[in-house]
Amino acid sequence: MLSQLPNAISVLRILLVLPTAWLLWSGSYVQALVLMAIAGTSDALDGWLARRFNWISELGAALDPVADKLLVAAMFVIFTVQGHLPLWVALIVLGRDLVILAGAVVYRLLFGDIELNPTVISKANTAAQIATLLLMLLGLCGFGVISELAISLVDPYLFVLLALLGLGSGLDYVVTWSLRAIRRASN
């Protein structure tokens, strides 16, 4: 069934997490960049297919962000362990996602269904995370001036931006969903 193609592409992206993580861990940054390009292209493709042909599904709505978050989390952990990324940045990024995940689980347990609608600040946060990781990876590829420029943008500018967006979007989610839970509980 062609309508399942976007979901299959999202599953492919999830399957790319392990080889990408392995390449990063082993210092094969150019090859990891190639897999990241494939993951990014497939992310755009599955979204376009779902919207263009109305192949939107609940499974796809869940798989797409899971694929993104798994790859992003793996990269943040590996870059932190390798010393390319400060621990405080990784703690903010990963801590935010864990708080949101825990809140979503609790909300679902208490009230049932949950609608996944990322806010503007959350989308900006995700875009900044991906841009930072891609620029870090580009910087580690050893492409001369291009790599040097990439690293100079990441540290400190994008690190600070990630911290601000991570804290801001995390707080936004906590406040928004806490208020939503209070309203639902009082009805």
Angle between helix axes 87-111 and 58-81 (nearest 10 degrees) is 150
Instruction: Verify that 92 and 47 share a domain, yes or no.
Output: no
| pLDDT score at 60 | 86
Q: Give yes or no for a contact between 45 and 1, defined as CB atoms under 8 angstroms apart.
A: no
| pLDDT lower than 70: segments of the chain | none
| pLDDT score at 40 | 87
| pLDDT score at 100 | 92
| pLDDT score at 185 | 87
Residue 137 forms part of a structural domain: yes
* Number of domains present in the structure of the chain: 2
- Give residue 34's domain range: 1-70
| pLDDT score at 57 | 87
| pLDDT score at 187 | 79
| pLDDT score at 114 | 82
The values of phi and psi at residue 41, to 5°, are -65, -45
Instruction: Verify that 174 and 91 share a domain, yes or no.
Output: yes
Question: Looking at 70, 104, 131, which one is the last position of a domain?
Answer: 70
Residue 151 forms part of a structural domain: yes
CA distance 185 to 95: 27
pLDDT tens sequence across 37-68: 999 899 889 889 988 999 988 888 888 888 98
- Considering the entire predicted model, what is its pTM? 0.90
Instruction: Verify that 40 and 119 share a domain, yes or no.
Output: no
Tell me whether residue 140 is exposed, middle or buried, using C-beta atoms within 10 angstroms of its C-beta: 0 to 12, 13 to 18, 19 or more: buried
Residue 63 forms part of a structural domain: yes
